[in-house]
Structure 1
Amino acid sequence: MGKLLIKNGTIIDVENGVSFKGAIEVEGNKIKRMIKQGEVLPEGPGTIDKTIDAKGKFIIPGLIDMHCHINEGFAPHFVASGVTTVRNTAGNVLLLNNLIQKPDHASVPRVYASDRMIDGSPGQWGPTSYVNFVTDDPEEARIEVRRQVEVGAKFIKLYGWIKRDVMGAAADEAKKFGLEVSIDLINSKELTALDAAKMGVTWFEHASGFAQEIYKGWSPLADQAEWSHINWEEPDQEKVKELCEEMLEYNVKLCPTMVLFDQAMSYPNIWSPKNKVIESIENSKHPVEYWKSHEELEATIKESTAVVSNLTKAIAKTYYEVGGSVVAGTDTPALLYTYPGMALHRELEIFVEIGFTEIEALQAATVNAAKSINLDDIGTIQEGKIADLVILNENPLDNIKHTQEIDLIVKGGKAYNQEDILRSIPSEEDVNRSLQAFMEKWEAVNIN
């Protein structure tokens, strides 16, 4: 890749919330030097291989989607959207190895992944398979955690029908290996967020389980007529704050994925700006066919989403206000039109709509996201960090929507325009071949 110089740009220091004009010298995949305006630039033959003039443009760190379910077929759409790292919350590490092992400069995001989710019987996603493990036996859960450690899981993901003793066993086993535990309690019938926090669960996806704690006995699967007295449109702020302060004592982290609920509630008038990336996604078979299949379930999806949508927003804002960690994620490609990569931009808009400042929203998808999972080499623009950068045509600190105005992306020191990346999208045949090869290996060893 050689040496790259990006000059004359306005660099946004997301950690300190300031911006300044200057240049960035990149060598290999790392930022070698930050050069302030007026200092001598390292230009000339044999010194710099490529120069990008970013005059009038704004440079932010590569964005991080802290909750998604990535697939080889749409992985490049993330980078084309300026999302250079993703946290994959449940799936299969072995299936993702083709992405995980790509070099830093590849036009797919680096992947920080959990392995298959651990759930209780009968399993919300069906019986045990390559993407989920269903058990009511604490010892089986411990064995599964150890297996996931061996295949390279970066954290452990639990699901909402897990039994209390199984959750405790899984969290305890994960702790032995220094791994954090994440949970999705949206459909939990028995356990609440506070229950999970007390047992050592750190991550609460979708800010789930809070509703079950605030309204004891409620769950999405309960008879909602019995809970018709609750005003879900205007959450009880006093109860929300009280629970947030209690959860803060356990240092839990929230990824609210508000865009997931927002797109579902807005359908058919979804957020869908016209740009190159979304046009490319809409011309692909997957996940569009998946979304279209969910259109038939619109009424059911909206009914369940309406209950938690505003509460999730209230929790996200309040937990941040009391000093908690709140980061940006999307749950792509779940439910309806959570566009790979681009959905994160809508999530940032929602952060601002509920009261975060532009810089606070940006931090939730950069420096705070990286710090929350101890990725010290990304998330900011600093010497020695990996050169993941997004060059924007407009200032996102003036309007968060400007994160969508992408001129160029630098991934691991290599500069791309969106067209370059979108041309690298694999064919459906190639993706299916890769999946088939994985399935044959998986079934051959018959791991349950």
Structure 2
Amino acid sequence: MRSLKVLIGSLIVVSMGLSQGNPIILFEGARLIMGDGSVPIESSAFIVRNNRFTTVGKKGEVQAPPGAARVDLSGKTVIPALIDVHSHFGFLNQRDGSMSKANFNRENLLDHLKRYAYHGFAASISMGTDYGDLPYQLREEVHPGAALFRTVGRGLAWPGSGPNDPARNDVPYVVTTVELARQAVRDLAPHRPDFVKIWVDDRNHTQKKLTPELYGAAIDEAHKHNLRAIAHVFDLEDAKGLLRAGIEGFTHLVRDKEVDEEFLQLLKQHPGVFVTPNLGVTSRGMEPGRPTWLDDPLLHETIPPGEIKRLENQFSNRKPETLANTRRSWELQVRNLQKMREAGVRVVLGSDSAGDPSRTMGWHAIWEVDSLAKAGMKPSDVIVASTRFAADTLKLDQLGTVAPGKSADFVVLNANPLDNIANTRKIYKVYLRGEEVDRAAMRKQWTGR
């Protein structure tokens, strides 16, 4: 009987060799979605000790150690904390909507990481708009009540074709020759960024963009230093060239036309390539009148009324031709995503948060979760993309699933996200590294409520 229980995964126990004296907590009664795609455990039980999961199983089969506290989560659903593999930290002041280099400081970066924690995220990575030593310092730090920070440092771009706003446009390395491409990567290499980020985009035919010779040199140099390369891309032909050059991932879908058989064959020839679709940028702009997402309670918990009003002015009562163009773009991206998934591409959560001031830190990332489901992914697949696959992509082995030995980073929800993925926004509590995040204090600081 005991071997059968182990076989079906109803009781998993690990001997951790942990020191005495730290809190031991038994959480029981919740539906547990472990993040690995397996069947949820109804009426689960799991033990957290020394900030890690030590035992995971069913209520009644997991015994509380002597002195353990108990937390009843009956009627709730638990998922692993989420991970965002495409964000832009530091430049956006979420209180007033300003985008400025003056905002790029430790206080604002930590504010962003706390906003991610508030929304149930354990980690995120800043994609190519970080400069100076501060991002690398912050990467090595762990702050209570804040998500972990990862960075690619400065990205590489043809002058003017990188981030599409004045505050950040000059941050990437300027690349106009093969030697400049290689030197930029050599400059990054000692910092061991998670990726070398490359922008390949002519910004709607208004800028020059990196040529195959230039981005090929950057990717080759990255591989010489055992670094992975990832690309911002828009056009299909550029995506093909990047695949031939050995790119490991895309931070956007192809958006100029339908992907073709040649592209899909290239994907199959390069297994392991991943994509962060960033569909939320488009999905939020498809409603006529006043978008319903503006009334999401979670949005109002972290964004002050003045900024909500700015969002309302930006997204309400959009012109018919604007709505039509947005919907056409959405439909194209959904078709391309489906074809890429069928070709074996791994889909990973990535929101492009703070790519402009309307992409609010934390909320826009969890809106991306919703958008993946709107694009046709099953809720269970969206959760895996947002947890286990995202953790694997960032090589954060301690995160991504609820399992013995993993860091105790999890979200307690008031409703089941397998019924409706929007239930990921019905957050009851967030725990990072075994500690409850003080969301009430954060909410009061940000909105006064």
| Deviation of the 1:62 alpha carbon | 0.3
Q: Match for 2:181 among 135, 138, 141?
A: 141
User: Counterparts of 2:324 and 2:210 in 1: how far apart (Å)?
Assistant: 24
1:443 matched to which residue of 2? Answer: none
2:56 matched to which residue of 1? Answer: 34
Structure-2-length-normalised TM-score: 0.77
Aligned pairs (5 A) from 1:176-325:
176-186=224-234, 192-208=238-254, 211=256, 240=260, 243-251=263-271, 252-266=273-287, 269-270=290-291, 272=293, 274=295, 277-283=298-304, 308-325=329-346
Question: Which has the larger displacement, 240-249 or 324-333?
Answer: 240-249
Q: Match for 1:167 among 210, 215, 233?
A: 215
3-state secondary structure, aligned to 1:19: coil
User: Counterparts of 2:322 and 2:196 in 1: how far apart (Å)?
Assistant: 27
1:354 matched to which residue of 2? Answer: 375
Aligned pairs (5 A) from 1:391-402:
391-402=412-423
2:11 matched to which residue of 1? Answer: none
Is the alpha carbon distance of 1:338 and 1:267 closer, same or farther for their aligned partners in structure 2, counting shifts above 3 Å?
farther
Is the alpha carbon distance of 1:62 and 1:40 closer, same or farther for their aligned partners in structure 2, counting shifts above 3 Å?
closer
Q: Match for 2:77 among 48, 53, 58?
A: 58
Asked whether the equivalents of residues 259 and 338 of structure 1 are also in contact (C-alpha less than 8 Å), the reply is no
User: Counterparts of 1:164 and 1:197 in 2: how far apart (Å)?
Assistant: 11
1:226 matched to which residue of 2? Answer: none
Counterpart check, 1:96 vs 2:142? no
Q: Which runs of 5+ in 2 are unaligned?
A: 1-21, 91-108, 201-208
3-state secondary structure, aligned to 1:26: strand
1:74 matched to which residue of 2? Answer: 112
Asked whether the equivalents of residues 244 and 266 of structure 2 are also in contact (C-alpha less than 8 Å), the reply is no
> Over the residues paired in the alignment, what is the CA RMSD in angstroms?
3.2
1:113 matched to which residue of 2? Answer: 151
User: Counterparts of 2:362 and 2:249 in 1: how far apart (Å)?
Assistant: 22
User: Counterparts of 1:127 and 1:59 in 2: how far apart (Å)?
Assistant: 39
| Deviation of the 1:98 alpha carbon | 5.9
User: Aligned letter for 1:67?
Assistant: H
Is the alpha carbon distance of 1:136 and 1:318 closer, same or farther for their aligned partners in structure 2, counting shifts above 3 Å?
same
User: Aligned letter for 1:101?
Assistant: E
| Deviation of the 1:388 alpha carbon | 0.9
Any idea what the Cα deviations from partners look like across 1:128-151, whole Å, max 9, x if unmatched? Answer: 977211121212222211222223
User: Counterparts of 1:372 and 1:118 in 2: how far apart (Å)?
Assistant: 21
2:205 matched to which residue of 1? Answer: none
3-state secondary structure, aligned to 1:13: coil
1:364 matched to which residue of 2? Answer: 385
Q: Which runs of 5+ in 1 are unaligned?
A: 215-234, 428-448
Asked whether the equivalents of residues 37 and 380 of structure 2 are also in contact (C-alpha less than 8 Å), the reply is no
User: Counterparts of 2:437 and 2:29 in 1: how far apart (Å)?
Assistant: 18
3-state secondary structure, aligned to 1:391: strand
Asked whether the equivalents of residues 123 and 148 of structure 2 are also in contact (C-alpha less than 8 Å), the reply is yes
| Deviation of the 1:102 alpha carbon | 3.2
Question: How many residue pairs get matched?
Answer: 393
Question: Which has the larger displacement, 91-100 or 136-145?
Answer: 91-100
2:10 matched to which residue of 1? Answer: none
Identity of aligned residues (%): 22
User: Counterparts of 1:305 and 1:145 in 2: how far apart (Å)?
Assistant: 36
2:194 matched to which residue of 1? Answer: 154
1:408 matched to which residue of 2? Answer: 429
User: Counterparts of 1:260 and 1:176 in 2: how far apart (Å)?
Assistant: 34
User: Counterparts of 2:196 and 2:223 in 1: how far apart (Å)?
Assistant: 10
User: Counterparts of 1:62 and 1:193 in 2: how far apart (Å)?
Assistant: 31
User: Counterparts of 1:288 and 1:92 in 2: how far apart (Å)?
Assistant: 27
Asked whether the equivalents of residues 164 and 191 of structure 1 are also in contact (C-alpha less than 8 Å), the reply is no
